[in-house]
Amino acid sequence: MATKSEKAWGSLETLDVSQPTRTSRRINEPDLEPPPPEPPRRTPNLTGQEPEEPDPFELVKEQYRVNLPDLLRWNIARVPGQEHVKEDHSTRFLLFDNYYEAVMVDGIDGLGSTSS
């Protein structure tokens, strides 16, 4: 009498894997639902006309415009009570330029952080 594993091994030895598997029973596949409809696509504005509603940002952007060359002329005081001075031309170009000498070279008064 053959064991289960011997019977299984015998079935595997007779199996020809180069041939497609044939089944005698028919598999009933469920009916597929129709695919959902495609979402509507936006059509580009081909007329060349402006949209009817203006962009809200376009209406207020002038309020937020920054004149950078003018801002760079200001020499901001680092000592309380000292006045801010507007120079004739830009002398500082980066935030790093504005504070490197004041903090890294001269130190911060009151904190005892001098680089001497």
Q: In this predicted model, what pLDDT tens digit does every residue of 79-112 receive, in sequence order?
A: 788 888 888 877 665 656 666 666 666 666 665 5
> Is the pLDDT reported for residue 116 higher than 60?
no
Domain carrying residue 86: 56-105
Q: In this predicted model, what pLDDT tens digit does every residue of 9-29 receive, in sequence order?
A: 988 888 888 877 766 777 777
Domain presence at residue 4: no
Beta partners for residue 108, in sequence order: 113
How many domains in the chain?
1
Domain presence at residue 44: no
Q: What is the pTM of this model?
A: 0.30
Nearest-angstrom CA–CA distance, 112 and 18: 85
Nearest-angstrom CA–CA distance, 103 and 109: 9
